[in-house]
Amino acid sequence: MVATGSCDDDVVTTSTPSCAFSAGPPGQSEPSGLKTTTWTIPPLDPDNRWFGGVAAALATEVGVSPALVRAGFVAVGLTGWGLLLYPLLWLWLRGCPTPLDYTPTLKGVDTNHARIGVMAIFGGLFVGLSQLPGGPGNLGLAGAGALVMSGMVVLWSDSATDWQLPTELRRFGGGMTLIGAGVTLAVVMLLDGRSIGVAFLAVLVILTFFTAMLGPWLWRAGTELNEERLRRIRADERAAVAAHLHDSVLQTLTLIQRNATDPATTTRLARRQERELREWLYSAGSSSITDEYLRGALAGIASEIEELHGVPIEVVVVGDCRVDDAGEALLKAAREAMANASRHSGADQIDVFAEAANGRLTVFVRDQGKGFDPEVVPDDRRGLADSIHGRLARVDGTAVVTSHLGEGTEVELSTTYVDPVQSSAGAENQ
């Protein structure tokens, strides 16, 4: 990040760590006209400071003499509060880049907010504790609070951004030291001849510290773990895909190369592989692609007939249902119809359309081949009569064969079904 711009209220760009508290979403640039909704903090002025430059900065912003602000700090400090207030303000203002010397220690409004929130909570706790018996203005406790807060800020700063281990260790060490010193001081002060209740409170405060302190670390560790797990899942998935492609596609390609001079075999191999790959690609994770259901069963039959006769069969299915006895009879008839079309029609493709809707299962097998006159089918061709009409008649279904010489044939098979595949996501469990 480049240190361009400043924390002045006229230019706050996205490339500058924004110290503006604005009504808009964080990170967005604020036009200068929005001064009413934007609270900008002046930079600490290293050239004009006594201690941290907080008073000078505030004075510049408010437009009064720095001496007046310093006097105010001293006055508040006499009550013990100023000792908390000053480092608090300093830590906050430190996030703002100065025009001269800017190090991007704290990035972004969100980190700022988190930091201030944490400081406010612990500031309040310590101010509260300092009001316990022992009296207001308990400087020891206030000092402990300031130490712990500084440690917290060091630990929390930049925790939302990318991090490197050495920097992080330094930060962790520094923060821990500060917190440890502060907590020790607080415990010593509180346990100095006081009751169990106060000791308990002290323990509570310490536990809270450590939770807050470890929070960002645990969170980050969790995220890393998650990412690692995702990476592993992806790798596993890739391995499974590779294995599948090797067993299927690569094998088939080898076979095709060996049979390059035999177009019929090559076509059949390619077609079978295509079908397999499609099924694998587009029905992954689906349990309804089995012979128990219309879709799976019909696809299986079509593939089998196609392999047997070498005529491509295009299957389109709308809806789905469990194949019961009637459905099975219908599918056997459909199989026969497909085989007939492949053997006799001379068509170069067969269209199969199946629809399961409103309790009715209908399958159309259509070719655009040479057709025939149903009246003159010789008796020794039993296919139509037995395999198709007979099968459907036995399950109260219907079979209609429409054919015209020269225009192809269509077989319409229909029966009822009982058990639909629920047309909702809930059926995924079936």
Of 225 and 418, the one with the shorter C-beta distance to other proteins is 418
Contacts of 362 (CB under 8 A, 6+ apart): 354, 355, 412, 413, 414
Of 64 and 316, the one with the shorter C-beta distance to other proteins is 316
Of 171 and 295, the one with the shorter C-beta distance to other proteins is 295
Q: State the Cα–Cα distance between residues 27 and 349, nearest whole angstrom.
A: 61
Q: How far is the CB of 358 from other proteins (least distance, A)?
A: 5
Of 9 and 324, the one with the shorter C-beta distance to other proteins is 324
Q: State the Cα–Cα distance between residues 111 and 336, nearest whole angstrom.
A: 72
Contact 28, 54 (CB under 8 A): no
User: Alpha carbon of 215 to those of 155, 211, 212, 352, 411: distances in Å?
Assistant: 10, 6, 5, 61, 70
Of 58 and 321, the one with the shorter C-beta distance to other proteins is 321
Of 22 and 283, the one with the shorter C-beta distance to other proteins is 283
Q: State the Cα–Cα distance between residues 130 and 82, nearest whole angstrom.
A: 13
Task: Give the side-chain half-sphere CA count within 13 A for 337.
Answer: 33
Site residues (vs other proteins, CB under 8 A)? 278, 281-283, 285-286, 288, 295, 312, 314, 316-320, 349, 351, 353, 355-359, 364, 366, 368, 410, 420-425, 427-428, 430
Contact 260, 266 (CB under 8 A): yes
Q: How far is the CB of 255 from other proteins (least distance, A)?
A: 20
Q: How far is the CB of 261 from other proteins (least distance, A)?
A: 21
From the list 172, 215, 209, the residue with the least C-alpha distance to 187 is 209
Q: How far is the CB of 354 from other proteins (least distance, A)?
A: 9
Of 165 and 405, the one with the shorter C-beta distance to other proteins is 405
Q: State the Cα–Cα distance between residues 408 and 117, nearest whole angstrom.
A: 79
How many helices (H) and strands (E) are present in the chain, helices listed first?
12, 5
Q: State the Cα–Cα distance between residues 12 and 38, nearest whole angstrom.
A: 10
Q: How far is the CB of 292 from other proteins (least distance, A)?
A: 13
Q: How far is the CB of 253 from other proteins (least distance, A)?
A: 14
Q: How far is the CB of 56 from other proteins (least distance, A)?
A: 54
